[in-house]
Each structure stands twice: as C-alpha cells, then as structure tokens.
Structure 1
Amino acid sequence: MRVSSIARAAAPPVPGISTYTTTRMRFAATPPTDEVVRPRLQAVVDQLVKKYGYPGAYIYLDGPPQAGYDGTPLVVKAGCDTVGTATPIADDPLILSASITKSLVAGVALQLAEEGKLNLWDTLEQRLPAKDMGRFEAQRAEPLISLLRHASGLPDWLNTAFLTHATQLGWTDEAARQLTKPLDHDAILDFTRQADHGPRTRGSFNYCNTNYELLARVIEEVEGQPLGQVLQKRLFTPLGLTHTHFETWPDTTTWANGYSTYFSSTLPQHPNMHWNIPVLWGRASGGVVSTPQEIAALYRGLYGQAKASKASKTGRRSLLLRTPESHERLINSVIPTESNNGTQSSLGVFRRKGKPGFFHNGSPMGYKTLAYYNEETDMAVVAFVNSDQNRHDLLGSQLAGLFREVGFSV
C-alpha cells in the first residue's frame, strides 16, 4: 500500500456506523447480470469517484442466482489505483480490512461460547489476567457481551495520545519502520490509560477499540495461543483462505494503493511513501489484511447460519458458526446506537432495525471499507475506496445513498 503524506493529529472518526439499504429490488424478469446489476453498480462506483472525489472505487458482489443476478461473482471499478495514471485497481487486491477485523474477533468469541469454553456473560474480572484487570477497576463486573456490542464504558486507546505519538515520529523511513512494528497488547493498553476522556456511560453504545483488545486478550487466554494463530486456525484455514493475514502481509505489489489525508489536507499527485500498516490500527481493532473476495467469504461463513438452517439441519453448509443459538444472539443482542437511522450494534457487527443484513465499516489510513452480508438473500458485498478523505463520512452511508439513486439493493 502506498499511503501519501500523513497529517497533524486529527481526531479519528467513529467507525462502524452507517446506513445501509437492504430491501431487494424486484425485476420483472431475470436477465443476465451484465444487463441489470453491473450497470447499476458501475453507476455507483462512478459516482464515488465523481461526486466524492476518491481516486478509485471498487465493489465486489457475490451470491446465488436470483432476480436480476445470474450468480456470477462481480467486480466493478472506477477511477485509478495510482493518482496521475490510468492504472485501474486490481481485481483482487489486498486491502486493510481495519475495523471489519472486529467481526472476526467476535466470531471467535461466539465459537468459544458454542463450545462451552466461555460464557458471553462472564465478567472481565473472571476472564482477564490480573495485570490487565488492574487497569480497568470500573469495568471489573462488565460482561463480555458488553464489550462485543460496545457498551462497556471503556475509554478508547485510539485517541489523541496515540495520534500525537504517531505524528511526532515524523514521516521518514525510520518512522515507517517503527509504525510497521506490531503494537503489542501492553502498548495498546498504555495508550488507553492516556485517553483524553474518562470512561463513558456503561450500558449505552459508545464505539471503542479497547473493547476488542480486551476481548482478544480473553481469547488468547482461553486458547493458549496468540490471536493471529487463533484466527488462522478457526477462521482462515477452515474457509481455505490464502490471502488473508493478521499483522503480516506478502509483497506490497499486491496492495491497492491507499492515499491518506490524515497529515495533509489535499491528495498528493503521486504517492511519496510506502506504508504497510494494518498494525497501526492495532491487533483486534483492525489488524487483518485480506482481499474483497475473502472478506466476503468470511462474512458468509459467520452470518450464513440462518439461510442454511432454514433449509434443513442435515443440509446445513460448513459454516464458522454452527448453532442456531449463535445466529439468534446476533439478531437479538442488539442495542441502539447514537444514530437516528435505526442502526443497531450487535456482536462485532451492525444491523438496521427491522431489516436483514450484517455490516461493518472500516476506516484505515488510506482507505474506507465496508463488508455486508444479507442472510435472507445470501448476497455479500465488499466495497472500498482508496482514500480516507472526508473520513467522517463513512463508506456505508455514502453507498446507501448512491444505491437508492440508481435503484439497486441486495
């Protein structure tokens, strides 16, 4: 990934919340995908570039044949991969999944609950090592489910102290080497202690990256392995994923270029540094690197239970969450967010009140990302743009409006 000049510390956006339309379009016939779906999605990515000014935009869609869609996996792109050139984004690029990582960590927690290795109502005091628990006395009795749906009241480690640390490094080759070193658990908790606000109100929604760092620590204690090994064993290997990584990545030539405005107000004409920094956003908060195709496979594996179980228990597909109870928890363990659009926070994922579908935004440096899966239609969508400009406007919200404009939904 090439990320351009990086900026003075600005407060990070609150990731993860967006609107998302999930009502299916009804077509009179079932023409080939290229006659119905592709033109509408092409109009969407074109508008992401023209209306919002991103260098490049990308949507991946797959699912079973249905009205207006013949079941062919679809990649639609607009704009460029490299500013100042006509080079398009690759069909299967590596991107930073960022906060979509939280969906995967929550999925492992649900697997462990299925196996009886933990209870989602276990408290932090019961599950965290003593040296970690001492830092969060106010949350001693907080159940794990509160962390999963961002209702713990914990302060966020991704705060002014962290961004100040990052910018003070200066944007040199040495700074790049420092920033590409994984932030370990203790370093992340040190930034939490320096949070520029106190704990939030417990029981109400407040998006907080610290929740997932503590959940990762609980998972590591239960499994006796580092989080990356747990994700590989429980999620990546069972699905046969070969381009999904945690806090590591292959040669950078496979990356989609990403342009950051965190440290400058305008996009550069050319990338001037190479940045490969999923670790900048920290472990369980956003350390997974993947392709859109494999992110879609992960979301279908995690949230496809309802679709499979409706057919018959014996006909259930090989999924990452295997019991109906897990899906019921995802549907019913929701709390309202501060949004006025019906967005609800579930266990590592978001939903719209009264609508099918699971989604999460990501706000990594140099990109905006979105993963979405509709359990009723079995359709998955993964989208990204290759700049974080206007970073308080999440990609899911922008896509929802554009989908309505072109008359498309999944």
Structure 2
Amino acid sequence: MLAVPVSAGSAFSTPVAAPAAYAPVLAPSATNGEFVELTPAVEARLDQAIQDVMREAQVPGAMVSLSAPGKGEYVKTFGIADKTTEAPMNTDLYMRIGSVTKTFTVTALLELVDQGKVGLDDTIDKYVDGVPNGDRITLRQLAEMRSGLFNYSADEGFFKDLTSDPERAWTPQQLIDISFKHPVNFQPGAEFEYCNTNLVLLGLVVEKAGGQPLNDFLQKNVIEPAGLRHTVFPTDAAFPTPHAHGYTNQTATGQVEDSTDWNPSWGWAAGAMISQLEDLRTWARVLATGTLLTPETQAQRLDVIPTPIPGAGYGLGIFNVRGWIGHNGSLPGYESLVVYLPVARATMVVMLNTDILHDGVEPSTLFGQAITRIVSPEHVYNLPVTPSPKT
C-alpha cells in the first residue's frame, strides 16, 4: 500500500464495508494442504491465466513466482517494464513494494519486544507525544489496525497535496499531524480499520527504542539477517537501477502518469520500501515462519483477529487470507503480493508496475485469485477493496 494513501495494502482504497458480523478467518483444515505439482501443463494454465488478467486489467508488466517443496517452481515475467522503450519486464528489476513495508516495520518492533526494549501492551504515549487516546492505545492495537486513529492518507487535503506535488518530501511528524487534526474513528480495540497512521507511529517507536533511524535499524536488524541483498528503505526518491517504471491514475488530473520518481516518503514506515523478486521470495517464508523472532512472539504475530473483509484475518502487521499469510502492497504505479501457505510450505510473489484498479479491485488481488484457483483451489486468495469516495 503506499507511496500512497490507504487500505488493505492500497493507496487510496479502503476495505469493503463490513458485513453484519465479522466473517470468520478460514483456517487450514486437516485435508486442504494440497498445492498442485507445477507440471508443464499447469504452467501453461498459469501462463494463460496471468496473460488473461493482464489483458483484462491492462497491466503493463508482471513478475510471478510460485514454489513449494516437491511441487516444483514457477518464475516468469510478462509484459513490459517501460512503456516508452518497451523494455521487457525481468526478474532483476527493482520495484516499490508499498504496504509490504509494514511487515518489515512490525518485524523490527517485534524484535525489540524480544529484546525487552518495548512491550506490545505499552501505550503509545510512552514513546510519542500528542497522540489522541495515546494513554489508551497500545502498540499491539496499532500493529493489528485497531487504534481508532484517523488514517492520514484518507485526508482530502493530503490527497490534493500529494498528487499536485508528488516529489515533495514528507516527514513522519507531518503525516501524523494530519491524522491528529481529525477526531478518532472509534475507541481503541473496538474495531478493525486499516490505517497508515498506525505504522508511522510504530516506525517512530522503533527509532526511539532502537536508538537509530528506522532505515538503519531495518537494514541491520531485519534486511541483512533475513539474507536480503536487494531490499532498501529509501530516505528520498532515489530508485536503485535497474528498475521498472510504474503507472498510476492516482493523479491530480485522473489521467495515467508515470509515477516512477514520485517521492515515497509519504508512506515511510507504512509503505516506502523497494525490493526485487528474489528477495521477496525469501521474505515471504521468513515472515510467515518467524525466522527472526522467538516462537512465542511469532505466535502472537500470527494470532489473527477477524476483519470486515470476508475470509481475511489480520495479526500484527500481517494478513491471513484463506490460509495465505503475508501482505499485499500498493502505491502509485506499483503493486506487490508476498504470501506463504504454511500447509504446503508454498510461496507466492506477484509484482506489478501499475496500481490502477479494475472494476474496483486491486490488480494484485486479480492475479492472486487467478493463480491460486489453479495451484491451491482450497485456498483461493481474495482480498477485495473498493475505491474510496475521493477516487
């Protein structure tokens, strides 16, 4: 979600309206661990399904990776990375990963929990001044999207400022100040609402308790220990090369523009990071299996709570969508999906160079659905969102 504004991983979108009662999280059953063998015939079906989604949703380029022990591996690219040069998409290109950044920020927080430097039930006012309900909102509630704070990226003025000057550099304080101008949406713990403000606050907690800037802490304590060699938390609009160009209609005019060089600082701890396909393949497994955390802390992370999104639960900075554990990401010009299916030890990563919704659905969700209908029909990935009023 981010370089962006808001949602279940998305910039200016929000989760579908809640049903009368929260839908239950679909946990794996004893018989649904199947993940099909990636035979040539299955690969041909995947090729066709991916190309059909690209054509229908008008996606310029895509990277897709699937793997599971004993089932084989599928790693392919489709389409173009640059509309001007028509350079093909390829697996060594850097891409912005939006809200997948949240999984890194919360991992850093949980490492500090394991070190005894913070407590999940600490209130945020211990670390950041001026937070509405700050003496009642816990770090746990921030990580599980239950703080009740207003999402700064849903602010009309913010949307206008961002799209009129997308190269502007934002500070974390400027972002939370936007949120704090608004009344809270609900009392702490009362509801689930996906909110970028929560992650900016947790980024500030990591900086204070970790004793160094967030980008440095992540590099030394999360990125390097995870074995990631092509993942960065940028402090400006710089984009490592080679990279794919991104295309969005989240613009001042509503027309499609190249957003490659937009400054992602507005997403900061909620969505500013950049990575490559191979690193995200590794990260999906590290994240879901808890390699960097104690078993006790990982268990708390994966203790998902039902959300208004049918079939989806949210833990501490992580989704469980019909058994697939991980996160999606969207920000102007880019989308990503980084998930792991424990019952099959299967990894799925999708990276796209557009965030333009198709019939109100994130393109990453369309790819996730199409792929999982083939490879894990008992665990079909689906994370619907609808456009917010401003879009």
Q: TM-score range by the shorter chain?
A: 0.7 to 0.9
Secondary structure at the counterpart of residue 57 of structure 2: coil
2:22 maps to what in 1?
none
Secondary structure at the counterpart of residue 145 of structure 2: coil
Shift of 1:15: 6.8
Q: How does 1:383-398 map to 2 (within 5 A)?
A: 383-390=350-357, 392-398=360-366
2:137 maps to what in 1?
142
Q: How does 1:110-189 map to 2 (within 5 A)?
A: 110-125=110-125, 127-128=126-127, 132-134=128-130, 136-159=131-154, 160-169=156-165, 176=167, 179=168, 181=169, 183-189=170-176
2:188 maps to what in 1?
202
TM-score (normalizing by structure 1): 0.77
The answer to whether residue 225 in structure 2 is matched with residue 238 in structure 1 is yes
Check the 8 A contact 2:60/2:354 in 1, yes or no. Answer: yes
Gap regions ≥5 residues in structure 2: 4-10, 18-24, 380-391
Shift of 1:36: 4.5
Select the residue among 177, 197, 201 that pairs with 1:214. 201
In 2, Cα distance between the equivalents of 1:253 and 1:16? 36
Check the 8 A contact 1:16/1:99 in 2, yes or no. Answer: no
Secondary structure at the counterpart of residue 362 of structure 1: strand
1:316 maps to what in 2?
none
In 2, Cα distance between the equivalents of 1:367 and 1:220? 27
Secondary structure at the counterpart of residue 320 of structure 2: strand
1:290 maps to what in 2?
275
In 2, Cα distance between the equivalents of 1:235 and 1:348? 15
Check the 8 A contact 2:101/2:271 in 1, yes or no. Answer: yes
In 1, Cα distance between the equivalents of 2:347 and 2:76? 14
Are the structure 2 counterparts of residues 13 and 187 from structure 1 closer, same or farther at C-alpha, using a change threshold of 3 Å? same
| CA offsets 1:140-193 (integer angstroms, 9 cap, x no match) | 211111000000101111122211112343xxxxx63xx2x3x22212122223
Shift of 1:344: 0.8
Secondary structure at the counterpart of residue 185 of structure 2: coil
2:6 maps to what in 1?
none
The answer to whether residue 346 in structure 2 is matched with residue 379 in structure 1 is yes
Check the 8 A contact 1:252/1:276 in 2, yes or no. Answer: no
Shift of 1:21: 11
Q: How does 1:318-329 map to 2 (within 5 A)?
A: 319-321=291-293, 323-329=294-300
Shift of 1:14: 2.4
In 2, Cα distance between the equivalents of 1:404 and 1:120? 34
- Read off the aligned partner of 2:306 and give its amino acid letter: P
Are the structure 2 counterparts of residues 373 and 20 from structure 1 closer, same or farther at C-alpha, using a change threshold of 3 Å? farther
The answer to whether residue 281 in structure 2 is matched with residue 335 in structure 1 is no
Secondary structure at the counterpart of residue 363 of structure 1: strand
TM-score (normalizing by structure 2): 0.81
% same residue:
27
1:43 maps to what in 2?
48
In 2, Cα distance between the equivalents of 1:359 and 1:47? 25
1:351 maps to what in 2?
320
The answer to whether residue 367 in structure 2 is matched with residue 399 in structure 1 is yes
2:265 maps to what in 1?
279
In 1, Cα distance between the equivalents of 2:226 and 2:316? 21
More helix by share: 1
Q: How does 1:36-75 map to 2 (within 5 A)?
A: 36-64=41-69, 66=70, 69-70=71-72, 72=73, 74-75=74-75
Check the 8 A contact 1:45/1:58 in 2, yes or no. Answer: no
| CA offsets 1:211-252 (integer angstroms, 9 cap, x no match) | 011111111111111111110111111133221110257665
Shift of 1:380: 1.7
In 1, Cα distance between the equivalents of 2:265 and 2:119? 29
- Read off the aligned partner of 2:220 and give its amino acid letter: K
1:261 maps to what in 2?
249
In 2, Cα distance between the equivalents of 1:80 and 1:351? 31
Are the structure 2 counterparts of residues 112 and 222 from structure 1 closer, same or farther at C-alpha, using a change threshold of 3 Å? same
- Read off the aligned partner of 1:206 and give its amino acid letter: E
Gap regions ≥5 residues in structure 1: 4-10, 170-174, 306-318
Shift of 1:396: 4.7
- Read off the aligned partner of 1:54 and give its amino acid letter: V
- Read off the aligned partner of 1:383 and give its amino acid letter: V
Shift of 1:257: 1.4
Are the structure 2 counterparts of residues 405 and 325 from structure 1 closer, same or farther at C-alpha, using a change threshold of 3 Å? closer
Residues matched between the structures, number: 354
